[in-house]
Copies of this chain bind each other. A is one copy, B any other.
């Protein structure tokens, strides 16, 4: 059940972009190279990923000197599930339980297929987490733990 590097990098970048600046709370603008350096992501690869995120409406960008990327929407309006599906495809472990990419499996009887029933549960469990966790939730959680650990 792996998350691809592509998905991992994309999620990391979006979380980084959702983190408020030290001084204020404004959604910050960051350059590819900043994210790349901080998250240790190959910058040319990250470029592709951010472009995809932009073309799908999750990011806005500013070109030219002093440019960079910033969230197209407030962090609480972007879920991890949206980012995941864009970069990694359907959440479902098996097509016959996918909401967005359904295909019949070739078991004798789909309705009573035990594997399908269980994988449906798995899909729902994953989707429940990813679709109900926003970038803001993640940042919040990070901050709580930081406080617990470092005061």
Instruction: List the interface of chain A (C-beta within 8 A of B).
Output: 1-3, 8, 11-12, 15, 38-40, 80, 88-94, 106-108, 111-115, 117-119, 121-122, 125-126, 128-130, 133, 138-139, 141-142, 145-146, 149
User: Whose C-beta in chain B lies nearest to the C-beta of A108?
Assistant: B38
**What is the oligomeric copy number?**
2
Q: Are B122 and A138 in contact (CB under 8 A)?
A: no
Q: Are A107 and B39 in contact (CB under 8 A)?
A: yes
| Highest count of chain B CB atoms <10 Å: which of A3, A11, A38 | A3
With contacts A107-B12, A114-B142, A142-B114 known, is A119 near B3, CB below 8 A?
yes
Q: Are A142 and B108 in contact (CB under 8 A)?
A: no
Q: Are A142 and B40 in contact (CB under 8 A)?
A: no
Q: Are B145 and A115 in contact (CB under 8 A)?
A: no
- A138 to B: closest C-beta gap in Å: 4
